[in-house]
Amino acid sequence: MVIAVALANWEVHKTLVDQGSSTDILYWPFLRLDVPHSFIQPHTKPLVGFVGRCVHTRGYVDLLTTFGAPPDSRRVMVQYILVEADTSYNIIIGRPTLNQLGAVVSTPHLTMKFLGHDGKIFSVKANQKTAQQCHIESLKIASPGEQCKSKLTTVAHINHEEITDLDPRSDAHDERPSPVDELDDLQIGELPGQIMKISKQCRNSRRRSSRMPTSSPGLALTCQA
């Protein structure tokens, strides 16, 4: 969601609230604010994005930032990492500030709520029109070549064997039940293909039983494995 915040005597629109960001970011081209360069502290650690791309930083600065409109507002100190990059946003508010505010973000309602110092609950509404403008601008920033590359980007290199292993039905060890004895063909019809598999042990036992005399004519012989 995209909101507006106040810092360094300016009302800054195009502020993205990103619950997936582990840091608060202020983009370097936006430093035309009333921020003395003496406030900027060195910071050499790069930021790593979702796709693994590293972005080098140009330091950090601590600025008092106001969320909400007076009197329903709260002012907190935010440590912004300064990043030089082409983007449609001016600021990204990440988890550190959201945790400091104790904020709850509801994307279906496009609202962020947090407690004030007096225990009152404050609400900040998202600006959907500004969010759409930022999205359109972000599409214009990427060059046509980069857009084509992004479409052709390979997510993962998986060979056929690895794909087969992902199928739970295929396994190197067949766990289906199988007979423990040797099988023999038993003709059950007149056609050559009308046969069934039967255990050789059971068939031999039936042959021996058929040769034994029985005192009860018509008694059916059964095969016991």
The enclosing domain of 37 has a CATH number of 2.40.70.10
Query: Does one domain contain both 22 and 130?
Result: yes
Residue 197: inside a domain: yes
Name the more confident of 194 and 164: 194
Query: Does one domain contain both 32 and 96?
Result: yes
Residues 190-203 have a mean pLDDT of 76
Q: Is the model's pLDDT at 175 over the cut of 60?
A: no
CA atoms of 80 and 59, how far apart (whole Å): 9
CA atoms of 87 and 122, how far apart (whole Å): 29
Q: In this predicted structure, what is the pLDDT of residue 98?
A: 96
Boundary-marking domain end, from 141, 161, 194: 141
Query: Does one domain contain both 7 and 64?
Result: yes
pTM confidence score:
0.59
* Contacts of the segment 99-105: beta carbons below 8 A, 24+ positions apart: 100/76, 101/67, 101/74, 101/76, 105/1, 105/17, 105/19
CA atoms of 219 and 222, how far apart (whole Å): 9
pLDDT tier, 65 (very low <50, low <70, confident <90, very high otherwise): very high
Q: What percent of the chain has pLDDT over 70?
A: 68
Residues 157-179 have a mean pLDDT of 52
Residue 219: inside a domain: no
Query: Does one domain contain both 27 and 102?
Result: yes
Which of these ranges, 6-10, 64-68, 91-95, has the smallest mean pLDDT? 6-10
Instruction: List the domain range (segments joined by +) for residue 204.
Output: 181-210
Strands 72-83 and 57-69: antiparallel
Residue 152: inside a domain: no
Q: Is the model's pLDDT at 148 over the cut of 60?
A: no
Residue 153: inside a domain: no
CA atoms of 123 and 76, how far apart (whole Å): 15
Is residue 25 within a helix (H) or strand (E), and if so which, with residue range? Answer: strand 24-27
Q: What percent of the chain has pLDDT over 90?
A: 28
